[in-house]
Every structure is written in structure tokens, then in C-alpha cells.
Amino acid sequence: MKLFKRMKEDMDVVFKQDPSARSYFEVFLTYSGMHAIWLHRIAHQLYKWRLFFIARALSQFSRFLTGIEIHPAAVIGRRFFIDHGMGVVIGETCEIGSDVIIYQGVTLGGTGHEKGKRHPTILDNVLIASGAKVLGAITIGENSNIGGGSVVLKDVPSNATVVGIPGRVVKQDGKKVIERLDHHLMPDPIADRLKKMQKEIDELKIELNKKGEK
């Protein structure tokens, strides 16, 4: 009975978040994000029972069916909603709270080959928009929003909005965050390239002059 209550809870989240959902029958059969979550719960339980190969095989089968890759060791809370979902990747040591929403192309990944905790912790009521990359053993605070296409490499406080590459906080607790930019210290790739070309030209002139003297 508990299983069916959790499944209904997951479907209720779809109706809450997606206005295109029309019936429980449609949601049950056609929402790949929800299917990926259900299969992950089975794989996660198998992983806790130390049936590692079976758990990984099931997670790969889920990836084949849904286009969503969730490592069976990842810990995911209740009412997790993946909208569309193609290309979503959730790493081994990820911890995701309740009422979290993520969209297609999101990666919750690591930054290298380090051992131990190496993937993000996402607290409750976080929204991560399409294509965002949240990388490393960082924490995304409660009620925060990660903008589409952002690359987040540092901890994010609660009630914040993050955008950009690398991600930066532009709003917190409903107020805009104004960053001081030292424009004179910012890199200028065009000027750097021109300096490099000028250096190469000068070196060629010196080389030609040496050959002319001979």
C-alpha cells in the first residue's frame, strides 16, 4: 500500500508542475522522468543490499529507456520531478532533498577522479533549469534557482538565484546582488592574441635579419 501511495504522490507532482498533464493514465504511461525515478528506487534498494552489478544493470536499462542516467547509489528525496529529462545525469554521491525540480540536460556531476563525496548535495525546493551543470562536492541551498546553462562550481546559499559561467549569485532573499567588477583586471582575449602575434612577427624579423647578414 505504501508503494502505491508513493507512486500516486509522484504522479500528483506531475499534475502540479506540468499543465499539459491530462490524466493519471497518460502520466503513468508517458512520463519518462517519473519512470526513471521509479526504476532508480528499485536500483537504489538493490545497491543498499550490495547487489551492485544488478543495481548498475537496472540503472543502465533505465537510461536506455528514458535517456536519464541516475547512479543507483544516489540518494533522492520525495516528490522529485524531472521535466522532459533527456540527457539528465545524476552522479554516485549526489544527495537530493524533497520537492526538487530539474529539467532536461542537467548534470549533477563530479570534477575529477577524487574518492569519497564528489557530487553535489541539493537541498529542498531547488529548481535547476535546462542544461545547467552543478559540479563537485558543493551544496545548493534550500529554495534556490539555478539558471539554464549555468555552470555552478561553488556552494550556493539558500533562497538564491544563480546564473552564468561560472555561476554567480544574482539574487538572494528576493534582493538583487550587485557585484563589483574590476574592469581593468578583466582578461582581454583579443588584445592578448594581438600581443602574441606581434611577438611572433618581431621574432621572424630578427630571424630574417640574421639570415640577411650572412
pLDDT band at 179 (very low <50, low <70, confident <90, very high): low
Residues 6+ away with beta carbon under 8 Å from 55: 43, 44, 46, 47, 72
From 128, 177, 125, 166, select the one nearest 148 (Cα to Cα).
Answer: 128
Could you report the per-residue pLDDT of 53-68, keeping only the tens digit for each? 999 999 999 999 999 9
pLDDT above 90 covers a percentage of the chain that reads 57
**Does the active-site annotation cover 44?**
no
Are residue 194 and residue 150 in the same domain, yes or no? no
> Distance between CA 83 and CA 37 in Å, rounded?
12
Could you report the per-residue pLDDT of 17-48, keeping only the tens digit for each? 888 888 989 989 999 999 999 999 999 999 99
Q: What is the DSSP string of 62-131?
A: HHHHHS-EE-TT-EE-SS-EESS-TT-EE-TT-EE-SS-EE-TT-EEE-SSS--SS-S-EE-TT-EE-TT
Are residue 205 and residue 129 in the same domain, yes or no? no
Total of domains in the chain: 2
Global pTM reads: 0.76
Are residue 62 and residue 37 in the same domain, yes or no? yes
Per-residue confidence (pLDDT) for residue 187, from 0 to 100: 58
Are residue 81 and residue 104 in the same domain, yes or no? yes
Per-residue confidence (pLDDT) for residue 180, from 0 to 100: 52
Could you report the per-residue pLDDT of 114-172, keeping only the tens digit for each? 788 999 999 999 999 999 999 999 999 999 999 999 999 999 999 999 998 888 888 88
Domain of 195?
Answer: 183-213
Are residue 168 and residue 191 in the same domain, yes or no? no
Are residue 195 and residue 110 in the same domain, yes or no? no
Active-site option among 35, 84, 113, 184: 113
From 133, 23, 122, 120, select the one nearest 81 (Cα to Cα).
Answer: 122
Are residue 138 and residue 154 in the same domain, yes or no? yes
